[in-house]
Amino acid sequence: MRRAAASLAAAALAACGWLAFAPIESGSRDEIFAIPKGTWARRMSGDPVEILPSEIRLTVGVRDVLVLENHDDVPQIFGPTLMMPGQTFRLPFAVASSYVFTCTAHASGQLQVIVEPFPATPWARLSWRIREAI
C-alpha cells in the first residue's frame, strides 16, 4: 500500500516535472475562427449563430496569430474587419497585452484579445499547460 502511494507520488512528481520543464512547442501558431457557409442564411432564419467568443486568449510564440476565415457567400463583419466571401484575415500579435476591437457581432460591441507572454519559466509552463488542458 505504501509502495503504491510512493509510486503514485513519484509519477505525479515526474508528470509535474515534465509539465514544468519540457519546452513548449506548437505545430501551428494560428488560432483559426471560420464562418461556415450558410451562416448568413441561418441568421436570417432567426438562428443566433455565434462564431467568435467575446474573449480570445493567445500566447506569444506559441499561438499568436488570429486567423479569421469567411467561407460564407456574403460579406461579414467578423471581429474587427469586414470580410469578403472567401477572404482570410491574419493578425499576428508580437506583444503581450490586452487588445480590444469593436465587433458588432457581439452584444457588448467588443471583442477582446488577451495575448499572454511566452511561458518562459517552469512555473509559467506548468500554469500554461494546465490552463490549456482545462
Partner 1 sequence: MQGRPRSRSSLRATLLVLCAAAASAADSPQLTAGVFDPPRMAPDFALRGSDGGELVLSRFRGKVVVLGFGFTTCPDVCPTTLATLASAHKKLGERGGEVQVVYVTVDPERDDPERLRNYLKSFDASFVGGTGSANVLEAVRNDYGIAAQRIVRGDSYGFSHSSYTYLIDRAGRLRALMPYGSSADAYVHDLLILLAP
- What residue ranges bind partner 1 (CB under 8 A)? 66, 77, 80-84, 86-92, 94, 97, 99, 101-102, 104, 109
CB of 91 vs partner 1, minimal distance in Å = 3
- Shortest gap between Cβ of 42 and partner 1 (angstroms)? 21
Smaller CB separation from partner 1, 81 or 127: 81
Pull the grid cell for residue 5.
502511494
Phi, psi of 112 (to 5 degrees): -110, 125
Of 88, 56, 58, 91, which is closest to residue 72 (Cα–Cα)? Answer: 88
For strands 97-102 and 110-116, give the pairing: antiparallel
* Nearest distance from C-beta of residue 76 to partner 1, angstroms: 9
Least gap, CB of 133 to partner 1 (angstroms): 29
Question: Nearer Cβ to partner 1, position 16 or 82?
Answer: 82
Cα separation of 3 and 84, whole Å? 63
Task: Judge contact between 29 and 60, C-beta under 8 A.
Answer: no
Closer by beta carbon to partner 1, 7 or else 97 = 97
Beta strand pairing call for 65-70 and 30-35? parallel
Q: Which of residues 13 and 77 has its CB atom nearest to partner 1 in the complex?
A: 77
